[in-house]
């Protein structure tokens, strides 16, 4: 009979996130995570297959921190809530957040955010053929803004200016979707 696991996948990913937040993404190695957890690097392989799986897990952790809005919420409000949520995640994890621009969401939990965007676009009346493309473009714009803000690119501007810029970006994205107008309330 094998020994009981002393760590979990969640503990491995939490340790990797702490390393990335403290020392940047380059500091995230199997050895460094193992050192932080006080286990041998081989102990990690019960929970992640390799460094790529570790990084995929970090994408998952970052995206899970963004609350998913309820399906009953109007589609535009859902997209706005997701965008605001991802911006908050970037503020909490500026050193690790750029990973979302370089790695796709491949784990089921990480893909939940993409599915929520797809559902909102579908609810807004976007034809099915355009949903995946619209999600990629919206996500890239929002992630790019969030990374830029978290990295300090806008530090010469007061927060109200940056907030207004983000609101304008969201307005542009809504216009670009060319979705039919929502019917007036009954």
List the structure tokens of 102.
């370089």
Domain chopping of the chain, boundaries: 9-61, 70-177
Please compute the mean of the pLDDT values over residues 56-67 and round it to a whole number: 96
List the structure tokens of 30.
């199997």
CATH 1.10.357 at 70-177, yes or no = yes
Residues 150-176 have pLDDT tens digits of 999 999 999 999 999 999 999 999 888
d(CA 42, CA 186): 61
Banded pLDDT at 32 (limits 50, 70, 90): very high
At 179 the pLDDT is 60
At 182 the pLDDT is 54
- The CA-based diameter of the chain, rounded to the nearest angstrom, is 65
Residues 90-135 have pLDDT tens digits of 999 999 999 999 999 999 999 999 999 999 999 999 999 999 999 9
CATH 1.20.810.10 at 9-61, yes or no = no
List the structure tokens of 171.
């307005």
Is residue 2 pLDDT above 50, yes or no? Answer: no
Share of the chain above pLDDT 90, in %: 88
What single string gives the DSSP state of each residue in 104-139? Answer: ---SHHHHHHHHHHHHHHHHTT--HHHHHHHHHHHH
At 185 the pLDDT is 56
d(CA 49, CA 62): 19
Residues 34-50 have pLDDT tens digits of 999 999 999 999 999 99
d(CA 115, CA 76): 15
Please compute the mean of the pLDDT values over residues 52-77 and round it to a whole number: 95
């Amino acid at each position: 009979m094998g020994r009981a696991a002393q760590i979990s996948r969640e503990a491995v990913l939490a340790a990797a996130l702490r390393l990335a937040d403290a020392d940047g993404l380059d500091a995230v190695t199997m050895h460094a995570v193992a050192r932080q957890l006080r286990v041998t690097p081989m102990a990690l392989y019960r929970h992640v297959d390799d460094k790529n799986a570790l990084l995929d897990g970090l994408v998952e952790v970052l995206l899970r921190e963004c609350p998913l809005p309820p399906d009953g919420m109007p589609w535009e409000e859902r997209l706005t809530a997701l965008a605001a949520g991802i911006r908050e995640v970037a503020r909490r994890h500026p050193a690790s957040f750029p990973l979302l621009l370089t790695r796709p969401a491949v784990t089921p939990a990480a893909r939940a955010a993409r599915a929520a965007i797809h559902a909102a676009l579908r609810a807004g009346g976007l034809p099915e053929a355009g949903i995946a493309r619209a999600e990629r473009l919206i996500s890239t714009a929002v992630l790019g803004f969030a990374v830029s803000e978290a990295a300090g690119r806008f530090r010469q501007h007061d927060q109200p200016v940056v907030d207004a810029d983000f609101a304008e970006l969201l307005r542009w994205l809504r216009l670009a979707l060319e979705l039919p107008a929502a019917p007036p309330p009954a």
